[in-house]
Amino acid sequence: MKRIAGQTALPPRAADAARRRLLQLGAGAPLALGASGAATPARASIRTNARIVIAGSGLGGIAVANRLSRMLDGARITIVDRKEEHNYQPGYTLVATGVWPVDKVRDRNAEFQPAGVTWVRDMVAAFDPAANAVVTAGGQRIDYDFLVVATGLHLDYAQIPGMDVAAIGSNGLASVYPGPQAAQATWAAMQSFAQKGGNAIMTLPATPLKCAGAPLKMTFMLRDRLRQAGTLDKSKVRFQSALGAVFGVKVVNDNVLARWKDLGVGVEFSRRLAAIDIGARRATFVSPEGEKEELPYDFIHVVPPMRAPDAVKNSELSWKEGPFAAGGWLEVDKATLQHRRFPNVFGIGDINGTPRGKTAATVKKSAPIVAANLVSVIAGGKPEVSFDGYTSCPLLTREGSAMLIEFDYDGKLTPSLPMIEPLQDSFFAWLLKVRMLKPAYLAVLKGRV
Amino acid sequence: MYEIWLASNIVWEMALTVWPLLLAAAVAWLLLMTAAVRRPGARLRRALPAALLCAAAGAFAAFVIVPGAVGSSLGELGYWVDVANLAAIAAGCGVAVGAFAWPLAAIFRARAA
Ligand SMILES: Cc1cc2nc3c(=O)[nH]c(=O)nc-3n(C[C@H](O)[C@H](O)[C@H](O)COP(=O)(O)OP(=O)(O)OC[C@H]3O[C@@H](n4cnc5c(N)ncnc54)[C@H](O)[C@@H]3O)c2cc1C
């Protein structure tokens, strides 16, 4: 167990308030959470009247809410999020490549939230961790004793002049990220491009990404759709990476590049999408030295830069220095997922300023840890469970086959089962992606796995 | 241990999406078994070889059909883990086919006798 840097460095007012409340919470109640509590369901609940606010009701927020409502007896849990529809985001790549119908990624948040929580249908406009309060866009102030930040991330299309999310699906413009509609429109654009063939450009920004494998999956699948349509010989697929690589884990990166070489997918590095002219089908790329090049295209897949939502980025909760400061990511300890300066705050999911790991698979492994550590803190103790940064990405390589890549904070491959070969084209990995991972996701959401 | 828990949850969630079908199948199987047991002359034990044969045929059919049904193909079986998983799924399908074939075979044999 790591000690948490700055754990006691609360601003005095907040520290006193937090301490006072902790003393009122019946902190001595027994806790049935061992050091291995990450993977095991809690057996007994502790009595507390703590007020817990969860900002965001995506996968992370609901998974933690379900766990806390079972582990705590008497806690007053409030979820703040305006979004009513729940989207199974890992399914977007399947919708955008014609494997799934769009309704498979659409559910209702209300179906998954635990009974007894208060749902404030609004967005957090400001976090005030010094005063232990959040303020919603509608002006409602909600005080808390403990806060879980689960806001996900912001797709910053605004950083690409000329980009219009509403135009996805027309003029060869594709982007899988914004939501079910965009995924469906991306499939429409891909289909019409595959019929004729031509120049395709696939982009990758330099920021941390949610599901960093998605841009690669889109590239593999586009190439496969061209092959199936018989237009591959009339087409050119070029991947433009703003980084010096296409994937953050070296063995995977090297493997993908070798595959693309064989498949005829061209790759250029250090080229950031700087602007787009949708009507003229021209994209401008810029090098780190500021050199600009305009490329014509028939099909483009735009991956936006990503950062923390404004409410987090502009608050005291974000990293103020280091590699995560620019994106305004949540300043959590990467092992305990507890905030480094505000110990009554935890982070779950894409918002966390931790190395790698913006995936549903990360939430699967970290939601039990956040819940266990938060309960420890509520009980007057310290976070006891550590997260190793597990993340996973079933990388579609063509229709019918995928690679099941799992790794940790250090980029070390960590297959769940020893016999799985991460870099092997596999029917099983495909089956997992198209049939088994949504059921697994639902079990995570319900706080069971 | 965690992987077993996860796998059971996956199966549970999959079952939830088709529970009316599963319930109907379970009721139909119970009715068939009751009919087979009560039918004069029906011998469940004697029907076992025929049921096993049907189970094997069902498993074989599933092995061939399942990859295509999920948008893949037999040609995508890349290594032994793929084959083992597909074989396990096929075996499950075979057991289901055999379970229905068993009382049916007993009933038909009794009718033929
Ligand atoms: C195209 C694509 C493909 C993917 N593929 C995979 C994959 O194959 N495998 C995998 O494991 N993962 C994959 N993922 C990633 C995975 O879906 C996310 O990592 C996961 O959903 C993150 O959960 P979260 O709770 O952090 O964020 P989200 O699920 O995005 O939820 C965030 C919630 O916070 C709310 N919110 C935002 N701002 C505020 C605010 N100010 N106040 C209140 N609420 C707010 C939002 O409305 C939203 O409901 C993919 C994602 C995408 C987009």
Q: Judge whether B8 lies within some domain.
A: no
- pLDDT value at position B111? 78
Mean pLDDT, to the nearest integer, of A238-250? 97
**Percent of chain A topping pLDDT 90:** 89
- pLDDT value at position A357? 85
Residue closest to A269 by CA, chosen among A223, A326, A203: A203
Q: Judge whether B58 lies within some domain.
A: yes
Distance between CA atoms of A308 and A207, rounded to whole angstroms? 11
Q: Judge whether B95 lies within some domain.
A: yes
Residue A39 Cα, gap to closest chain B Cα (Å): 7
What is the tens place of the pLDDT at every residue in A288-301?
Answer: 999 999 999 999 99
Q: Please give the backbone phi and psi of residue A208, each rounded to the nearest 5 degrees, phi first.
A: -60, 145
What is the tens place of the pLDDT at every residue in A116-137?
Answer: 999 999 999 999 999 999 999 9
| A109 token code pair | 């948040």
Question: Domains of chain A: which residue ranges?
Answer: 38-155+309-378, 157-306
Residue closest to A368 by CA, chosen among A7, A20, A60: A60
Mean pLDDT, to the nearest integer, of A44-66? 95
Residues of B in contact with A259 (CB under 8 A): none
What is the tens place of the pLDDT at every residue in A399-449?
Answer: 999 999 999 999 999 999 999 999 999 999 999 999 999 999 999 999 999
Q: Judge whether B3 lies within some domain.
A: no
What is the tens place of the pLDDT at every residue in B61-95?
Answer: 999 999 999 999 999 999 999 999 999 999 999 99
pTM for the model stands at 0.92
Examine the residue annotation and report whether A211 is marked as an active-site residue of this protein. Answer: yes
Whether the pLDDT of residue A143 is over 70: the answer is yes
Around Cβ A126, how many Cβ atoms within 10 Å? 15
- Residue B21: Cβ-neighbour burial (10 angstroms; 0-12, 13-18, 19+): exposed
Q: Judge whether B1 lies within some domain.
A: no
CATH number listed for the domain at residues A38-155+309-378? 3.50.50.60
Q: Judge whether B97 lies within some domain.
A: yes
Q: Do the chains contact at A435 and B70, CB–CB below 8 Å?
A: yes
Residue closest to A38 by CA, chosen among A337, A245, A357: A337
For residue A150 and ligand 1, the question of a CB distance below 6 A is answered with yes
- pLDDT value at position B106? 95
Whether the pLDDT of residue A9 is over 70: the answer is no
- pLDDT value at position A44? 63
Mean pLDDT, to the nearest integer, of A276-293? 97
Residues of B in contact with A416 (CB under 8 A): 3
Reported as a pLDDT band with limits 50, 70 and 90, residue A17 is: very low
User: Which has more confidence, A44 or A288?
Assistant: A288
What is the tens place of the pLDDT at every residue in A191-236?
Answer: 999 999 999 999 999 999 999 999 999 999 999 999 999 999 999 9
For residue A343 and ligand 1, the question of a CB distance below 6 A is answered with no
Q: Residue B45's domain spans which residues?
A: 20-112
- pLDDT value at position A16? 38
Q: Judge whether B9 lies within some domain.
A: no
Of the options 3.30.470.10, 1.10.12.10, 3.40.30.10, 3.50.50.60, the CATH number for the domain spanning A157-306: 3.50.50.60
Distance between CA atoms of A305 and A193, rounded to whole angstroms? 25
- pLDDT value at position B63? 98
Whether the pLDDT of residue A305 is over 70: the answer is yes
Find the helix or strand (DSSP H, E) in which A272 lies: strand A272-277
Alpha helices per DSSP H over A130-198: 180-196
Q: Judge whether B13 lies within some domain.
A: no
Backbone angle region of A230, left / alpha / beta, with phi > 0 → left and psi within -120 to 50 → alpha: left
Please state the domain count of chain B. Answer: 1
- pLDDT value at position A21? 41
Contact A105, A53 (CB under 8 A): no
Reported as a pLDDT band with limits 50, 70 and 90, residue A91 is: very high
Nearest to B10 among A39, A430, A440 (CB): A440
Average pLDDT, chain A: 91
Report DSSP state, residue A435: I
Examine the residue annotation and report whether A393 is marked as an active-site residue of this protein. Answer: yes
| B34 token code pair | 């009751």
Residue B46 Cα, gap to closest chain A Cα (Å): 38
Distance between CA atoms of A400 and B71, rounded to whole angstroms? 6
B88 shares contact with chain A (CB less than 8 Å): no
- Give the angle subtended at the CA of A354 by the CAs of A202 and A365, to the nearest 5°: 95
DSSP labels, A41-103: ---S-EE---EEEEE--SHHHHHHHHHHHHHEES-EEEEE----EEE-GGGHHHHHTTSS-GG
**Percent of chain A topping pLDDT 70:** 90
